[in-house]
Structure formats: structure tokens, C-alpha cells
Amino acid sequence: MFGVGFTVANGVTTQYEFLEIKTNADTLTYIASPANQTRTTFALLEQSTNQVIFENPSHDFPQLISYQRKHKQLTISLRGVIDTNQQEFTYQLTRYPCNDST
């Protein structure tokens, strides 16, 4: 599975990264490739029907990435240490149907 994330400010793309979740030796691997940075791989830590958690303890931030699905919502959490402080950023995505207006 591939994805692309963009950060846009005042109509200008300020950051982007390519994301990949792939099967590697019968387990999942999460790979993040931010613009102008080295590629980072996260190993599968936990997987259930509605949640998957990846971890890379040696990465600067985040060290933990989780995706949790509940009904029509997907919660993405980025967790780790920044300047000796535990931090967490959460993004809530909601699925909406696409309506064909033609």
C-alpha cells in the first residue's frame, strides 16, 4: 500500500513524504520517505482486526505510529520523545461517500 502526505500553507506545499506498508517475510513493514530526509523503516509491533502499530525506537520522532479504525473513522497517532518530553500527535480522518453528480 502506498500513500503520499502533503503539508500546504497559504496554497504552497511546504513538506511532503511518501509512505509504504508492505509485506516482508510474512509480517508488515512501514516505510516513511520524507522529502530531503533519509528513508526510515518501522517494524510491526502489534496487529489486530482494527488496529496496527509500528515501532522504530531508534528514530528521532516518531518512534511509534498507529492506525486505528472505528466505524467510518481512522485515527492516526504519532508518538515519541522530543527534547526529552513524551509527545503525541493525533489525526482523525472520517470516510465520506463520493456522490456522482452526473
- Grid cell at residue 1: 500500500
* Amino acid 65: pLDDT: 97
The number of folded domains in the chain is 1
Q: Which residues pair with 54 in a beta bridge?
A: 44, 65
Specify if 102 maps to a domain: no
* Residue 89: domain span: 2-94
pTM, full prediction: 0.85
Domain assignment of residue 101, yes or no = no
Domain-located, residue 99: no
Assigned domain for 35 exists: yes
pLDDT digit of tens for each residue in the chain (102 aa)?
Answer: 999 999 999 999 999 999 999 998 889 999 999 999 999 999 999 999 999 999 999 999 999 999 999 999 999 999 999 999 999 999 999 988 887 665
In a domain, 39, yes or no: yes
Tell me if 33 is assigned to some domain: yes
